[in-house]
Amino acid sequence: MAHIIHVINPSFVECAVSVQALFKPFQLGTLQLSTRVVMAPMTRSFSPGGVPNAKVIEYYRRRAAAGVGLIISEGTVVGHPASNGYPNVPHFYGEAALAGWKQVVDAVHAEGGKIVPQLWHVGSVRRPGTEPDASVPAYGPMEKLKDGKVVVHGMTVQDIKDVIDAFAQSARDAQRIGMDGVEIHGAHGYLVDQFFWEGSNQRTDEYGGSLANRSRFAIELIQATRAAVGPDFPIIFRFSQWKQQDYTARLVQTPEALGEFLKPLSDAGVDIFHCSTRRFWEPEFEGSDLNLAGWTRQLTGKPTITVGSVGLDGEFLQFMVNTDKVAQPASLENLLERLNNGEFDLVAVGRALLVDPEWAVKVREGREGDILPFSREALTTLV
């Protein structure tokens, strides 16, 4: 039975918000989820050689066993020579890595959960010397030189096609090994987002110029993925306004512009939009309390996932540097009200689930006092 969160508001009138909204089933076509709780994708770097191992399998299994309806895997790189940017990040290509992911899928399904891989290409973020082939430079929308050396290879039209083919093949492989869909990583200043963002895409061909042209790469990538997996395999697309390089960046400034940006992506084959924000409770545009997921749902008619400091009182950027800060469990009242009002459909939980695999079941059973706080130390192990 779902717990009721009792909150004393400033006027001392007790109100109650049921957590039941988080634990209602969700269905979209073939995708049936037991709860609205989603595990957000979080890079963990515990897959030496790019292969998920027994610890990774157990890491995901435990969340599925404790009430997470949908797991979105950590970013997993597609089969392109320049896709990776970090050590020990899992691959989504090659026999060994796919066999490891098949074991993850089977473990999650055995617990009644669903899982999709987040398909990733880091683009120009890749640094010289990065595995698996240290000699391969970064790829990006535009060439970048440093001390006379090419540190970012400006992608040709053929390069664009090759990357699109790699995403489509990874999606095909995800379907083959029993994944429940795929998420395309189009956020946070990585390759797909680098094409969106005017600051990193000043191409003069059909992939540069207007935002419509800068979206062409993503649109073609989504179309190719859809063609690879057929009409019924769910495609999630993650996007953000903010970038790792600029937390105040705004891809669009108005709801109208957001609608113009999202419609071609939606038409290309996106089933669910994953709307990345740093704090889910912040309004996206003046004059409305709707967050980015709320606006996206309203503008596209497609289901959305909200994300951003859910369940914690401190946002994740505080933990990107060495710090002894601790994020304590926070009230879910605002989130639950928005979910009950239909502002968004699903809720992605990041660090709260990273540190506490039983976060969802503790919320459901009213055991908020047992939820573990998050500190940077949690990033050093797989729990």
Contact 5, 19 (CB under 8 A): yes
Question: How far apart, in whole angstroms, are the C-alpha atoms of residue 83 and residue 79?
Answer: 7
Beta strand pairing status for 374-375 and 326-327? antiparallel
At a CB cut-off of 8 Å and minimum separation 6, what does 310 contact?
A: 280, 332, 335, 347, 348, 349, 350, 352
Active site residue 190: yes
Catalytic position from the list 60, 93, 139, 190: 190
Find, among 315, 318, 317, 261, the residue nearest to 292 by Cα.
261
Question: How far apart, in whole angstroms, are the C-alpha atoms of residue 360 and residue 68?
Answer: 6
Q: Is the dihedral of CA 102, 347, 237, 376 positive or negative?
A: negative
Give the orientation angle of helix 216-229 with respect to helix 255-268, to 10 degrees.
Answer: 30
Calculate the alpha carbon distances from 326 to 242, 352, 375 in Å.
24, 12, 5
Question: How far apart, in whole angstroms, are the C-alpha atoms of residue 272 and residue 346?
Answer: 10
To 5 degrees, how large is the angle CA 187–CA 306–CA 6? 150
Q: Where would I find the beta strands (DSSP E) of the chain?
A: 4-8, 14-18, 26-28, 31-33, 37-39, 70-77, 114-120, 138-140, 144-146, 149-154, 182-185, 235-240, 272-276, 304-307, 326-327, 346-349, 374-375
Query: Which residues form the catalytic set?
Result: 190
